[in-house]
Amino acid sequence: MEAILDILNNWVGEYSVFFERLSAVDYIVLTVNILLMIYARRILTLIYHDKVSGSRSLNRVHVFRALNLLIILSFGYYHLYLPVSERGIGLKFVSVFVVIYLGYLFAHIIGYVARRKFGKEREVNGVKKSVETYNSRLLGLLSGIFIFIIVLISVVQILGFSGLLEAGGVIGFIGVFLALTHNAWAPDIFSGLIILNSGMAEEGDVVEITEGTPYLGVVYKTKMFHTEILNLVNNHRIMLKNSKFRDYTIHNLSKFASAKGLREKLNFKIGYDVEANKVRAMFEEAFDTVKKNADSGVETQFELDVRINDTADHAVEWVIYYYTKDVRNLIKTRQYFREVILDTAKSYGIVLATPLTHSIVNQAI
């Protein structure tokens, strides 16, 4: 028992010296970092002010808390273990972490302020949030570059590269590295700015991309290097490089050319043996059925437009035009309208399957 008490007394005596070495500034720094670690999740939620996946949110919190922990551990190492003669190195070690952390924190705060001040309030996936615009992204990018330069110069000065040749060598190395890798990041940054400036693919817009495998999706977020799109058919996210996204032909279905909404069309191939007035009556009756459904997504106050699109070899291709403003449920609207037309066509005795035509030529032998 006495041995345990001796160990505890020695431990208390050893660490009481540690607290005696701390100054008022040290206590403030440690207290602030501990509070930042505790409230890291709330602070980041306030800064970003948007809903992200659990893993991404957790990674942000981990990075935030890791920097705080490094500062606290550096202070402890500096005051407890480092000899007095070597405390210049410990102070540099602590100072570097403090500068990097402050740069990281201020960059995110300025980005948040720029997004709130110059961003645009939009509803994305049922949630209202401030989305990026050209002005907010440009301000965030310029402020990030400015903060990076200040942090870089501060770290160079703290590490003792005070000579012009030494400091120039460090900064020159970073400059060469950025120059050699600019093809990997510069096109995406500038393409992202162009996308935001054009306003043709804003967050929350429904777009259709026809290159490669065609798909319909919602622009979820335009980030620094890539754009995230939520596929409306398979309900998963697609990540496209900003430079690649600009190469595609993008159909923005959310930006209507008319106050009536998006003018949609559906094509059907019906045999030549069916009279035109019967086909038109079938489509009109189907449209009357659609009108009775309040959740159809169709702008029923506008009449259905029925046309002949093509007279092909085997059938007449009919096309119907209707208007909709519920572009997020465009797939559902198309499927519902086709189902109603199929049921109505059966009641009229009209077959929607493309018929086969056989031509027999009699030749005298």
Q: What is the 3-state secondary structure (H, E, C) of the chain?
A: CHHHHHHHHHHHHHHHHHHHHCCHHHHHHHHHHHHHHHCHHHHHHHHHCCCCCHHHHHHHHHHHHHHHHHHHHHHHHHHHHCCHHHHHHHHHHHHHHHHHHHHHHHHHHHHHHHHHHHCEEEEECCEEEEECCHHHHHHHHHHHHHHHHHHHHHHHHHCCCCCHHHHHHHHHHHHHHHHHCHHHHHHHHHHHHHHHHHCCCCCCCEEEECCCCCEEEEEEEECCCEEEEEECCCCCEEEEEHHHHHHCCEEECCCCCCCCCEEEEEEEEECCCCCHHHHHHHHHHHHHHHHCCCCCCECCCCCCEEEEEEECCCCEEEEEEEEECCHHHHHHHHHHHHHHHHHHHHHHCCCCCCCCCCCCCCCCC
pLDDT (tens digit, 9 = 90+) per residue, 284-306?
Answer: 999 999 999 888 889 989 999 99
Neighbour-count burial of 267, counting CB atoms closer than 10 A to its CB (0-12 exposed, 13-18 middle, 19+ buried):
exposed
pLDDT value for 84: 47
CATH 3.30.70.100 boundaries in the chain: 262-348
pLDDT over 70, % of the chain:
74
C-alpha span between 250 and 268 (Å, rounded): 26
Confidence of residue 223 (pLDDT cuts 50, 70, 90): confident
Tell me what pLDDT residue 269 has: 92
Dump pLDDT digits (tens) for 230-255.
988 888 888 989 988 888 888 999 88
Q: pLDDT grade, residue 143 (50/70/90)? A: confident
Contact 358, 298 (CB under 8 A): no
Question: Does residue 43 carry a pLDDT above 90?
Answer: no
330-348 helix and 276-291 helix, angle to the nearest 10 degrees? 130
Distance in angstroms (rounded) separating the CA atoms of residues 318 and 323: 17
Confidence of residue 7 (pLDDT cuts 50, 70, 90): low
Give per-residue pLDDT as tens, 26-41: 677 778 778 877 877 7
At residue 289, the pLDDT reads: 93
**Predicted local distance difference test score (pLDDT) of residue 25:** 66
Instruction: Grade residue 87 by pLDDT with cuts at 50, 70 and 90.
Output: very low
What is the predicted pLDDT for the residue at 360?
63
CATH match of 196-252 with 2.30.30: yes
CB 331 within 8 A of CB 232: yes
Contact 242, 222 (CB under 8 A): yes
Which of the given ranges, 159-168, 205-214, 227-236, 342-351, has the highest pLDDT on average? Answer: 342-351
Q: Is the per-residue pLDDT at 12 higher than 50?
A: no
Mean pLDDT of the chain: 78
Q: 113-141: per-residue pLDDT in tens?
A: 887 777 777 666 666 667 777 778 888 88
Residue 279 has pLDDT above 90, yes or no: yes
Asked whether the predicted pLDDT for residue 160 surpasses 80, the reply is no
Domain with CATH 2.30.30 in the chain: 196-252
C-alpha 285/C-alpha 291 separation (Å) is 10
**Global pTM?**
0.63
Give the residue-averaged pLDDT of 307-329: 91
CATH 3.30.70.100 fits 262-348, yes or no: yes
